[in-house]
Structure 1
């Protein structure tokens, strides 16, 4: 299969700290690292490592951070020919604080990501599509409207979207917070809706009726950054391969759990062999 992913491309600057700060609090003693990230880029590389051919559409700045942000995608074999370089805006940056239990706080400076416009898109997007909401909503809406095949929309971060998008999506993926934001609107279309619940697993619905659920294997969490994006890439690959709902959820939960066992978003993304090995051991 060949999947098109349209989405954000960031450089993640990660501070691993003894604890996450409260409002107005300074926390010292952190270790600093830089990793490629961005929801679109993460989901693209996750799907690629799990067996799909992937083309990423997005935008980076004409700066040194762009090379860092694209490095693992390039090495991993993601097609970057549809990634444009913006001469005026910087590459997107995510500032991430992580505690010893793997929980995080994230602030994103979108940069060039917010300059991805409908004009950058082809008139038709052939093959399966994955999209998220770290790009301008009008661009995501246009991409979904031009898609001719299976469409997965990760409604993250939560933002108002059209009823047309919700009805067009064959698969919607949200976490519990995002599910609460959209409420019953998620179930107005005929597509499948997956609600992820972290260590508690994930549930799949269709027209508001539960179809399947699965829980992840027990792992020692180091950094949850990228785990949700891994799940999105994995559930899309699994369903496109024809897995039944419960098997697809099990596969995606395992992939997401593995992503939480290593630091960083893209450096932590598991291979197909790693996911199948941990499922076999359940």
Structure 2
């Protein structure tokens, strides 16, 4: 079983021909809203991948809160771990250009009220060998409490170190499974932008020191990972992306669900990479997450 402890947002998405430079205003071509938040995205992805999923976090007692939970509820994600907060539901303000690239500003809202007690209560209901998925859009104290509780209980912790920060670097080192994109991993290592060879060498060195499973997504170049002293690679699909928002969350959800279902690590990586590619073919974070049938058809 998978429990996701993390953020729940509504995404406010504007598209334009190109992204504005600092201080510049550009005209947009469309606007839409979609349920999002890295935690909720990963929960929905894991559920669409076939896992039994529980979501834990907080939303505001407002219209956006019910909208943010709608797709999770429709997918039969267990929402008993989601509580109502006095703060407004979190929002993500997303700009997307014609090439599918994006910039995002996240306003935490209710996500900022998630506490250490929430974390401990969430993990207390889990069983040894379950997967706990974490991201960094809720307070760091709560994430640390979740990691410590998971280690004590034998729960497998799966940390996606996004958005990246110094605390994400510190706490990510405590997780059993670490997932980052190439930029985040290079920041995690603290050596500036790395070549492919240097990145692999850094992954090997970190794995030898920590024993962590380390996974680095590479966009169009797929994914590279190290687990139990073995290096793995997996390719996604060759696509023309429409919107890359949520692709990383889709990858994470599918990977955790595949591991939870007993897939071999190599097959789980490939399944997750394909799912992440498919998520780039539709706009929005949660609406773009593919169902398992679509993923299996491409493998």
Q: TM-score range by the shorter chain?
A: over 0.9
145-154 vs 179-188, greater mean Cα deviation:
179-188
Change (3 A) 1:216 1:104: same
CA distance in structure 2 between the aligned counterparts of 1:78 and 1:195, rounded to whole angstroms: 27
Q: Does 1:191 align with 2:212?
A: yes
Partner residue in 1 for 2:225: 204
CA distance in structure 2 between the aligned counterparts of 1:61 and 1:7, rounded to whole angstroms: 14
Change (3 A) 1:26 1:59: same
**Aligned-partner SS, 2:298:** helix
CA distance in structure 2 between the aligned counterparts of 1:138 and 1:102, rounded to whole angstroms: 34
Q: Which segments of structure 1 move beyond 3 Å, counting only runs of 4 or more?
A: 161-168, 184-188
Partner residue in 1 for 2:251: 231
- 1:11-90 matches, cutoff 5 A: 11-87=10-86, 89-90=87-88
Change (3 A) 1:114 1:275: same
Q: TM-score, normalised by structure 1?
A: 0.93
Q: What displacement does 1:125 show? A: 4.7
1:203 touches 1:210 (CA, 8 Å); kept in 2?
Answer: no
CA distance in structure 2 between the aligned counterparts of 1:27 and 1:13, rounded to whole angstroms: 17
Structure 1: runs of 5+ lacking an equivalent: none
2:136 touches 2:162 (CA, 8 Å); kept in 1?
Answer: yes
Change (3 A) 1:175 1:210: farther
Structure 2: runs of 5+ lacking an equivalent: 190-201
CA distance in structure 1 between the aligned counterparts of 2:249 and 2:35, rounded to whole angstroms: 13
Q: CA RMSD in A?
A: 1.8
* Cα-to-partner distance string for 1:100-143 (whole Å, 9 max, x where unaligned): 11110100011110110011231625121100111111101111
Which residue, out of 110, 130, 136, partners 2:133? 130
2:41 touches 2:250 (CA, 8 Å); kept in 1?
Answer: yes
165-174 vs 30-39, greater mean Cα deviation:
165-174
Q: What displacement does 1:215 show? A: 1.3
2:177 touches 2:214 (CA, 8 Å); kept in 1?
Answer: yes
1:125 touches 1:143 (CA, 8 Å); kept in 2?
Answer: no
Which residue, out of 226, 234, 237, partners 1:217? 237
1:90 touches 1:111 (CA, 8 Å); kept in 2?
Answer: yes
Partner residue in 2 for 1:111: 109
Q: TM-score, normalised by structure 2?
A: 0.88
**May I ask how many residue pairs the two structures share in their alignment?**
276
